[in-house]
Chains A and B, each alone.
Chain A
Amino acid sequence: MEFYRTHVLVCAGTGCTSMDSRLLRQNLYEEIIKRGLEKEVKVIETGCFGFCNLGPIMVVYPEGTFYCQVKPQDAAQIVEEHFIKGRPVERLLYQHEKETTDVVEMENIEFFKHQKRVALHNCGLIDPENIEEYIAQDGYFALAHCLKDLTPLEVIDIIKKSGLRGRGGGGFPTGTKWEFAYKSKDDQKYVVCNADEGDPGAFMDRSILEGDPHGILEAMAIAGYAIGANQGYIYVRAEYPIAVERLKHAIKQAREYGLLGDHIFGTDFCFNIDIRLGAGAFVCGEETALLASTEGRRGEPRPRPPFPAVKGLFDKPTIINNVETFANVTKIIRNGWEWFASMGTEKSKGTKVFALAGKINNIGLIEIPMGTTLRTIIYDIGGGIPKGKKFKAAQTGGPSGGCLTEAHLDIPIDYDNLTAAGSMMGSGGLIVMDEDNCMVDIARFFLEFTQEESCGKCPPCRIGTKRMLEILDKITTGKGTPEDLDNLETLATTIKSASLCALGQTAPNPVLSTIKHFRKEYEAHIYDKKCPARVCQALLSYKIDPQKCKGCGLCARYCPAEAITGKIKEPFTIDVEKCIKCGDCITRCKFGAISKE
Chain B
Amino acid sequence: MSCQCGSACKDERFVKIDQILDQNGRDESMLIQNLEQIQHFLGFLPEDVQAYLAEAMGIPLSKIYGVVTFYSLFTTEPIGKYKISICLGTACYVKGAGEIVAEFEKQLKIKVGQTTPDGRFTLAGCRCLGACGLAPVLNVNGKVFGRLTTDDVAGILAQFE
Contacts and interface: CB of A to CB of B under 8 A. Distances in A.
B17 interface: no
Interface string A284-300: 00000000011111110
A279 B91 contact: no
B86 interface: no
B82 interface: no
B132 A355 contact: yes
A587 interface: yes
Interface residues of B, number: 41
Given A15-B131, A201-B128, A296 B91 contact: no
A478 interface: no
Interface string B81-124: 00000001111111100000000001000000000000000000
A413 to B, nearest CB: 18
Given A281-B72, A296-B31, A298-B70, A201 B89 contact: yes
A200 B89 contact: yes
Contacts of A13: 130
B95 A358 contact: yes
Listed residue (B36, B90, B93) with the most chain A CB atoms within 10 angstroms of its CB: B90
B74 interface: yes
Contacts, number: 133
B86 to A, nearest CB: 13
A263 to B, nearest CB: 25
Interface string B13-39: 000000000000001111111011000
Contact of A52 (B32, B66, B132, B144): B132
Given A15-B133, A18-B137, A431-B91, A296 B146 contact: no
A398 B131 contact: no
Contact of A358 (B67, B94, B150): B94
A455 B71 CA distance: 10
Given A200-B128, A202-B128, A429 B90 contact: yes
Given A18-B137, A19-B146, A280-B72, A357 B29 contact: no
Given A52-B132, A206-B130, A239-B126, A297 B33 contact: no
B73 interface: yes
Interface in A238-291: 238-240, 276-281
Contact of B30 (A19, A200, A296): A296
Contacts of A357: 90-91, 132-133, 135
A423 interface: no
B135 to A, nearest CB: 7
Given A18-B137, A281-B72, A296 B32 contact: yes
B94 A281 contact: no
A18 B147 CA distance: 12
A364 interface: yes
Nearest to B144: A18
Contacts of A587: 150-151
Contacts of B36: 238, 277, 279
Interface string B37-73: 0000000000000000000000000010011001111
A355 B92 CA distance: 13
B140 interface: no
A7 B82 CA distance: 39
A351 B144 CA distance: 32
Nearest to A386: B95
Contacts of B73: 238-239, 279-280
A363 to B, nearest CB: 4
Interface string A101-118: 000000000000000000
B148 interface: no
B79 interface: no
Listed residue (A13, A296, A297, A357) with the most chain B CB atoms within 10 angstroms of its CB: A296
Contacts of A199: 90, 128
B29 A18 contact: no
A201 B91 CA distance: 5
A437 interface: yes
A312 to B, nearest CB: 14
A151 B39 CA distance: 46
A295 B88 contact: no
A239 B40 CA distance: 12
A283 B133 CA distance: 26
A14 interface: yes
Given A239-B127, A279-B71, A299-B70, A19 B134 contact: yes
A400 interface: no
Contacts of A15: 130-134
Interface in A413-441: 429, 431, 433, 437
A409 interface: no
B129 interface: yes
Given A277-B33, A279-B32, A445 B134 contact: no
A398 B70 contact: no
Listed residue (B67, B73, B91, B146) with the most chain A CB atoms within 10 angstroms of its CB: B91
B34 to A, nearest CB: 9
A200 B131 contact: no
A203 B94 contact: no
A14 B131 contact: yes
Interface string A568-597: 000000000000001000010000000000
A445 B93 contact: yes
A53 interface: yes
Contact of A279 (B28, B74, B126): B74
A359 interface: yes
A504 B89 CA distance: 20
Nearest to A275: B33
B132 A395 contact: no
Nearest to A355: B132
A81 B146 CA distance: 30
7 contacts: A18-B134, A202-B90, A239-B126, A295-B29, A297-B63, A363-B91, A455-B70
A-B pairs with the 7 shortest C-beta distances? A201-B90, A357-B91, A14-B130, A279-B71, A52-B133, A296-B31, A18-B144
Given A297-B28, A442-B93, A446-B90, 13 more contacts: A14-B129, A18-B130, A19-B134, A19-B146, A201-B89, A276-B32, A279-B73, A295-B28, A363-B133, A395-B90, A433-B94, A442-B94, A445-B93
Interface of B: 27-33, 35-36, 63, 66-67, 70-74, 88-95, 106, 126-135, 137, 144, 146, 150-151
